Chains A and B, each alone.
Chain A
Amino acid sequence: MKLKPLFGLVGVILLAVFLIIINLPEASLDFTFSENIGMWQTLVGSKFALEKDSVKFTKGNQQLQIVIPEMNIEADYYDVCVIEGVWPISFDQGSLLFLSPFNKQFDYKFRYIFETGQADRQNQCYIDLTTHGAWQSIVKALLIIPAADAKEVSLKRLKLVRANPWTKLKARWSSFIRYYDPLLGTCFSMASPVFMGKSFNGLVVPMLWGLLIICGLIIIVGQLIKINQRVIKFVAGLILFVVIITFGLLDLRNNIFYLKAISRNISLYWGKPIAERRGIVVGDPEFIDFMQFCDDNIPLETRLFNQVPVDIPGIPANYLSAVQYCANLRPRFYDNRSWGEEDSYYIFYKPREQGSWKISQEQSVVSDYLELKPTEKMQQEIILWRSSKYLSEVVVWLDEGISNPENIELLLLGSDRKTIAGRAKYLKRTGKQAIFLFSPNKNFKKGKKVFLQLKNLGQVPIKIGTVYGDQYKEGSLILHDEKKYSDLSFRLIYQPKDLKLFKRFSQEAFILLDEETQ
């Protein structure tokens, strides 16, 4: 039998099927921004201007957001959304949020993320609406955050489509090859790409295991009862083919991702000074400018105290505080390491509480919980950043559940681990944080080594948050007269009276000088 005509026939049939699929009818709901002025709103501060057939939105002080309040979409009917517009930065990240029967307000949990395509050209961003479980019944309103980095965007239309298979495929392919900037945690683990709303590995790996088991069984059975070698070769070849196709698909996606990354890097970073690039990549340009301000103004050979909080909204925990702080300053003495006679400066950035100069001394990362049995006590060695008379609050982390902070006796002891410098009384609990009010009865000067003692006065064990010690450790944690590998997670809050404003960068960013060392 001649195979070539057969292949030709199969090819023609496939082409015909393909042409039919892409031409299947589909219904859509078009929302054109330029023709529906008044039907959408932006946040105060954002500007917009009508262009030829689109609307150009310009970001103000806040994030650029466009709300379409009265949509009332029959969500079950539409399965793809297409957003059309022009973005100035390649492969930016946009979000589409929706009000479903499950949420009364816009919430990031109810959103789709889309990629904006190449810069400065009319792009169509496809979103597969079926990937979110809450997209059902009546969706009342939509909120578009058109870009994460771009300051201006031209939007033409938003289209909701009851899609034919071809459009669905385009939407699914878009989510499979969607570009996203590497996140801080990417160095730990890079997630599998998403295909049809599910992890690609989750779909493919079990299938491959199944195929391999079948292959293995055939080989074993083939050894026992002599199966024709051609059968074994055919099965092995088939499995190899599946592996190559799967691997090829994944690698194609990766290569597209790399091309996009190159395009985005050129579009976002090239041609800018390094300080500006640093601001973009860190996600808070103001912080980078402030660090430069600190570096320029604070003399060298001085001691710096980091008062940048670890929980700045929008920034991953401790990123600015622990990672980008020292990395943006020339070397000085930091925190409590090797105390000397240097002048001390306190660097504040977006402080938790406005209008007060509270100094926070903390190692607040919690990596585990240590059990403190009834009548047991643990002692954490600490070097005081300020005199203990200024100490106002002590915070420790407790495991939620049975741990009752009222059963904790909290004392500040001298270096002999006997002299009591003060005791803290339980005030309140915020999540896992237990806050104690401190009352001093003896003053220890700053730089003095002291011990924070926690004793369980209750009848049940208490689980207390600890951090695995490394270079950030303040001192040793002692339990049963034995030094532990981990350290107590704590925060000491001082309200010192001997600090003065040294330089102010902005309302939320300033430097204090310790007058005691002057």
Chain B
Amino acid sequence: MIILRLFFSLFIAWLLGYLIVYLFDPQKKIPWFEGAALSFLLGQGVLTLLLFLLLFLPVANRSIVLTGLILVFFGAKLFFDKNKVWVKSSFQFNKKGLSLFLVLLLFVSLTLKVSYSFIETCSKPEYSWDASANWTEAGRNYFHADKFSNKGVIGEMKKSVTSYPRALSLMHYWIFSWLGEDNDQWSKIIFPLDLLCLLIIFYYALKPSRGGLGALAFTYLLCSAPLFLYHSTIGYADLTKTVYFSVGIIYFYRWLQTKQKNYFWFFGLCLALTTWVKLEGKMLFAIGFALLLSYLWLGYRASLRAKLFYVGQYISLFLIIGLPWQLFSLFNHLPDPQTKLSLSLSLFFEFHQKMYDLMFMEGSWGLFWVIFVAGLLFFFKRQLTGENRYLFLATILFYGNLLFIYLFFPSAVAEMMATFNRVLLPFYPVAVFNLGVILPVFESKSGVKI
């Protein structure tokens, strides 16, 4: 029974996401599987935002009210929708010889990794530091506050800090509401689901240029970093933030590649959602903004008005998604670290030395970063061609983001061991995607294309 309830709570989130994807992609140009994956990601983010806004209305049984609204909208969509056929997803591979063998090998290994993520996550309750003491605990408190506390969920929410917007806690709360109990062992399933959605979107983004086998190989590469996979099992916000950021950047690239407006919206929505997951997301949103501006300035040939229109749309997404939490924390004087920026250039070398150790030597993903650096060096001409140069710019901007964090905050370098890998995490899928687009496609005489 609990599984059915869980499934229903996730299905409603997915349904909301489906409506959003449909809103921005009425022609259903993206493949069904990709649309389904994106639906869950957007649904999860927007659902929690709606839940947050609903807290300010005198409404009881918020979960049921929200579910009702979503079902009504979905019914209306079914009634009025004249374009019911979604682009069919295809898993077409060369079904012969080595190609088929490689597909099977990659698929089985990928299934193992994803299965590990689901089983590791849902076998045990929340145990890790921030996940227990922050994200899940708050979700649990909202669930109980609904029943017991006279100050309600809003009262509990005022115990938060500014830097931790409540998207994830509200998602736990949403699932608990449907489960009827605060079962964090099951509510954690959102993290492997986020991972799965990222993998599907990643695969479909690379498929047009690399073919099915090549896209699968790079999806496999994405899943091969143990730290990244592990983060999909522990309930930290960093994984969700990473998924939104990397999906956003992938859609930015797809937008430039295809010039389809729907990709612009998905790019903007995903990056705006990073600010609703964690306040650090504002830096990631700013990276997206810088990428947008650079494209509009360098690559987009249109009137200034058309360019400003894009800028306005991008910013308005932040105002809708990110601003409510900022206002809530401002009006309720939520604790905010009194951070004083002070540039410490003396830490420049120490930062890079530690960065090298943490990226290449001490962690479990050193081998990937060597391959990434080699890819950048040996294929720099391809990197600086066409849309690829914006991915290079994203790399530079992300590096700038690291420099900003570690050179402007006095404590950050001392605490690098505990923070650096998590700060780097959002860039990892982007780096794998970057490799996927710049490495030349290998095609053998026997038809193996990778």
**What residues of chain A have their CB less than 8 Å away from a CB belonging to chain B?**
182, 184-193, 199, 201-202, 204-205, 208-209, 212, 215-216, 219, 243, 246-247, 250-251, 254-255, 257-259, 261-262, 265-266, 268-270, 274, 277-278, 280-282, 300-301, 319, 322-324, 326-327, 330-331, 337, 367-368, 468-471, 473, 476, 483, 485-486
Contacts and interface: CB of A to CB of B under 8 A. Distances in A.
B90 interface: no
A192 B362 contact: yes
A277 B124 contact: yes
Contacts of A261: 116, 119-120
A188 B424 CA distance: 11
B23 interface: no
B338 A469 contact: yes
Contact of B414 (A201, A368, A473): A368
Nearest to B125: A278
Interface string B217-236: 00000001011001101101
A255 B112 CA distance: 7
A254 B137 contact: no
A485 B337 contact: yes
B367 A205 contact: yes
B133 A323 contact: yes
A331 B417 contact: no
Interface in B346-380: 358, 360-364, 366-367, 370-371, 373-374, 377-378
B364 A192 contact: yes
B149 interface: yes
Nearest to B221: A247
B116 A262 contact: yes
Nearest to B181: A274
A187 B124 contact: no
- Label chain A's interface by main secondary structure: helix
Contact of B137 (A192, A205, A326): A326
B113 interface: yes
A483 B337 CA distance: 12
Contact of A190 (B123, B145, B224, B364): B364
Given A205-B366, A327-B140, A330-B141, A281 B116 contact: no
Interface in B112-148: 112-113, 115-116, 119-120, 123-130, 132-133, 136-137, 140-141, 144-145, 148
A246 B417 contact: no
Contacts of A209: 370
Nearest to B360: A205
A300 B156 CA distance: 14
A256 B366 CA distance: 19
Contact of A212 (B227, B230, B374, B418): B374
A268 B120 CA distance: 11
A468 B410 CA distance: 10
B370 A188 contact: no
Contact of B149 (A188, A205, A331, A485): A331
Contacts of A187: 128-130, 230-231, 234, 236, 422
Contacts of A269: 123-124
B446 interface: no
B377 A216 contact: yes
Contacts of A191: 362-364
A277 B128 contact: no
A259 B163 CA distance: 37
Given A199-B362, A219-B378, A258-B112, 5 more contacts: A265-B120, A268-B123, A323-B133, A331-B141, A471-B161
Nearest to B117: A258
B94 interface: no
Contact of A485 (B113, B130, B339, B367): B339
A188 B422 contact: yes
Interface in B139-169: 140-141, 144-145, 148-150, 156, 159, 161, 163
B119 A282 contact: no
Nearest to A183: B128
Contacts of B236: 187
* Interface hub of B120, B137, B367 (most chain A Cβ within 10 A): B367
Interface in B397-421: 410-411, 414-415, 417-421
Contact of B132 (A216, A323, A469, A471): A323
Nearest to B364: A190
Interface of B: 109, 112-113, 115-116, 119-120, 123-130, 132-133, 136-137, 140-141, 144-145, 148-150, 156, 159, 161, 163, 183, 185, 224, 226-227, 230-231, 233-234, 236, 335, 337-340, 358, 360-364, 366-367, 370-371, 373-374, 377-378, 410-411, 414-415, 417-422
Nearest to B163: A470
A161 B227 CA distance: 36
B133 to A, nearest CB: 4
Contacts of A193: 364
Nearest to B136: A327
A274 B181 CA distance: 11
Nearest to A467: B411
B119 A262 contact: yes
A330 B148 contact: yes
A331 B289 CA distance: 39
Contacts of A319: 129
B442 to A, nearest CB: 10
29 contacts: A187-B129, A187-B130, A187-B230, A189-B358, A189-B421, A192-B361, A193-B364, A201-B360, A204-B367, A247-B224, A255-B113, A261-B119, A262-B116, A265-B119, A265-B120, A274-B183, A277-B185, A278-B125, A281-B124, A282-B127, A301-B148, A323-B133, A327-B126, A327-B140, A331-B141, A468-B337, A469-B337, A485-B337, A485-B340
Given A367-B414, A468-B411, A243 B371 contact: yes
Contacts of B132: 323-324, 327
A189 B226 CA distance: 10
A270 B126 CA distance: 15
A266 B120 CA distance: 9
* Interface hub of B129, B163, B230, B420 (most chain A Cβ within 10 A): B129
B49 to A, nearest CB: 22
A258 B185 contact: no
A367 B416 CA distance: 12
A194 to B, nearest CB: 12
A483 B338 contact: yes
Given A265-B124, A281-B125, A201 B422 contact: no
A293 to B, nearest CB: 17
A486 B120 CA distance: 37
A166 B173 CA distance: 54
The 8 closest A-B pairs by CB, nearest first: A258-B116, A265-B123, A331-B141, A201-B366, A190-B364, A190-B227, A327-B132, A281-B127
* Interface hub of B119, B141, B148 (most chain A Cβ within 10 A): B119
Contacts of B129: 184, 187, 319, 323
Nearest to B356: A205
A322 B370 CA distance: 38
Nearest to B118: A262
A254 B224 CA distance: 8
Contacts of A262: 115-116, 119-120
